[in-house]
């Protein structure tokens, strides 16, 4: 049934202990959470156990991490068997923090699964939460919005707001506090006493956070927020503002973001200022259809782990590749990759493949490969690489 509607948007929250999946067809208005069985449906539980060794393998850069993730994704997408072929899905993967090693492993695993690279998108939890917010009722964004996450004995609080005086409207986020509630803080207290202390500590931090800033909504993420221990804090949060609790907000947000990539929803008038966002435009000057012109390589405004570009071109008399960067504030820099020991060939008899990727928002990796030109000028196999700082 779903396949009749065209492309399917899929959001995956890849967690260290548990993962979640949401999907949406183009005819649907909101994502639907995926469950493993009818029994779990009765329990209202969307958690899918993440392989216990996945994170340790990937973070150790063990090659087996790709295979473990591929098998896990294969099992997850089996739950979407009614949605049609994976080749027609757009997927957004979200994590607590998207790092370069994870970006590479996720892409490789999805390619093995049969999803093309053009349909694979990545983001962190905060950006997924932003996507979720932008698809809720507008009145919830009248003022600031608070996000409280309780994970691994720690509560972290952020606030989101919109700068409406700019075009496009800028969505901003800022961390307000981090409260550690581990065994060191507990000091052997019993459950009741510890609950009262936790509530008191959280309440003090919330009062400071909310003191001079109006909030229209608060979102709580984490199962540790369940129960009655935070009675005082919860009453404070609900005072003249809407409060919500849920453990699937990042998954839903990732699915909304996938829907936007699919053209099913849009936040075109708003730009989210992520710490992962590239602040530079990269390009080259070259001859295009007989005329000197600017060829863009990477545009500012995307997350660094999504910034990739590959192109091929013929060299003239040059023995180097020159890349120009320009910040969103207009500052320009020139970066040169010397093609040492390049074979001596006539003008326009050397075809070069250029690969651009990023290792950080302000660090670019450039790789050039000599492809030669047909049988007359075979490739030398030479490769030149450089890491460019854009700071």
Q: Hey, which bits of the chain come out as E strands?
A: 8-13, 18-25, 32-33, 48-49, 89-95, 120-124, 144-150, 154-163, 169-180, 215-221, 242-245, 270-272, 280-288, 291-298, 308-314, 320-327, 332-338, 351-360, 363-372, 383-389
Please state the rounded mean pLDDT for residues 227-249.
92
Please state the rounded mean pLDDT for residues 133-145.
94
- How far apart CA 77 and CA 112 sit, in angstroms, is 13
**Residue 189 exposed, middle or buried by CB count within 10 Å (0-12, 13-18, 19+):** middle
Q: Which of 239, 228, 232 is nearest to 201 (CA)?
A: 232
> Lowest-confidence range among 84-93, 150-159, 312-321?
84-93
Q: Write down the pLDDT at residue 82.
A: 67
pLDDT in tens, 245-263: 999 999 999 999 999 988 7
Those residues whose C-beta lies under 8 Å from the C-beta of residue 27, and which sit 6 or more positions away, are 5
Please count the other Cβ atoms lying within 10 Å of the Cβ belonging to residue 77.
22
pLDDT band at residue 3 under the 50/70/90 scheme: very low
Q: Write down the pLDDT at residue 322.
A: 96
Displacement of CA 332 from its chain's centroid (Å): 27
> Lowest-confidence range among 70-79, 89-98, 163-172, 207-216?
163-172
Q: Write down the pLDDT at residue 329.
A: 81
Q: Write down the pLDDT at residue 214.
A: 95
Q: Write down the pLDDT at residue 248.
A: 95
Residue 386 has pLDDT above 70, yes or no: yes
CB 56 within 8 A of CB 93: no
Q: Which residue has the higher pLDDT, 326 or 38?
A: 326
Angle of CA points 295, 268, 270, to nearest 5°: 105
Q: Which of 377, 313, 367 is nearest to 343 (CA)?
A: 377
CB 372 within 8 A of CB 378: yes
Q: Write down the pLDDT at residue 40.
A: 47
Q: What is the DSSP string of 98-130?
A: --HHHHHHHHHHHHHHT--GGGEEEEEHHHHHH
pLDDT band at residue 29 under the 50/70/90 scheme: confident
Q: Which residue carries 């053009």 as its tokens?
A: 118
pLDDT band at residue 38 under the 50/70/90 scheme: low
- How far apart CA 142 and CA 314 sit, in angstroms, is 54
Q: Which of 173, 149, 175, 236 is nearest to 200 (CA)?
A: 236
By percentage, how much of the chain surpasses pLDDT 90?
Answer: 76
4, two tokens: 């009749």
131, two tokens: 């996507």
Going by their DSSP bridges, the two strands 144-150 and 215-221 should be labelled as: parallel
53, two tokens: 């060794």
pLDDT band at residue 276 under the 50/70/90 scheme: very high
Residue 236 has phi, psi (to 5 degrees) of -65, -45
118, two tokens: 């053009």
Q: Write down the pLDDT at residue 2.
A: 39
- How far apart CA 368 and CA 342 sit, in angstroms, is 11
pLDDT band at residue 1 under the 50/70/90 scheme: very low
pLDDT band at residue 6 under the 50/70/90 scheme: very low
Going by their DSSP bridges, the two strands 154-163 and 308-314 should be labelled as: unpaired
If phi > 0 it is left, if psi is from -120 to 50 it is alpha, else beta; for residue 341 that is left
Please state the rounded mean pLDDT for residues 209-228.
93
Please state the rounded mean pLDDT for residues 179-185.
95
């Amino acid at each position: 049934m779903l396949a009749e509607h065209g492309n399917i948007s899929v959001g995956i929250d890849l967690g260290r202990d548990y993962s979640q999946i949401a999907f949406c067809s183009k005819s649907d208005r909101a994502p639907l959470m995926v469950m493993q069985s009818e029994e779990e449906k009765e329990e209202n539980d969307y958690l899918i156990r993440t392989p216990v060794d996945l994170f340790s393998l990937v973070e150790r850069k063990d090659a087996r991490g790709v295979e473990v993730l591929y098998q896990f994704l294969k099992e997850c997408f089996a739950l979407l068997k009614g949605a049609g072929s994976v080749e027609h899905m757009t997927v957004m993967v979200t994590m607590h923090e998207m790092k370069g090693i994870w970006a590479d492993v996720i892409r490789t695993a999805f390619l093995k699964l049969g999803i093309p690279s053009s349909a694979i998108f990545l983001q962190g939890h905060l950006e997924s939460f932003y996507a979720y917010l932008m698809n809720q009722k507008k009145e919830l964004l009248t003022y600031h919005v608070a996000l409280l996450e309780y994970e691994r004995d720690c509560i972290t609080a952020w606030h989101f707001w919109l700068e409406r005086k700019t075009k496009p409207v800028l969505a901003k986020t800022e961390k307000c506090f981090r409260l550690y509630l581990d065994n060191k803080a507990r000091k052997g207290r019993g459950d009741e006493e510890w609950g009262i202390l936790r509530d008191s500590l959280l309440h003090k931090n919330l009062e400071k956070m909310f003191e001079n800033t109006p909030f229209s909504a608060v979102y709580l993420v984490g199962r540790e927020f369940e129960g009655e221990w935070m009675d005082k804090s919860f009453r404070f949060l609900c005072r003249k503002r809407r409060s919500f609790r849920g453990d699937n907000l990042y998954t839903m947000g990732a699915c909304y973001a996938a829907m936007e990539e699919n053209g099913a929803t849009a936040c075109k008038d708003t730009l989210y200022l992520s710490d992962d966002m590239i602040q530079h435009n990269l390009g080259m000057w070259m001859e295009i259809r007989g005329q000197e012109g600017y060829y863009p390589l990477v545009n500012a405004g995307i997350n660094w782990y999504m910034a990739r570009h590959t192109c091929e071109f013929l060299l003239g008399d040059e023995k180097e590749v020159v890349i120009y960067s320009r910040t969103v504030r207009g500052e320009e820099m020139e970066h040169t990759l010397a093609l040492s020991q390049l074979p001596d060939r006539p003008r326009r008899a050397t075809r070069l493949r250029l690969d651009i990727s990023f290792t950080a928002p302000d660090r670019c990796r450039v790789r050039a490969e000599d492809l030669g030109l047909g049988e007359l000028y075979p490739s030398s196999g030479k490769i030149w690489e450089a890491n460019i700082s854009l700071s």
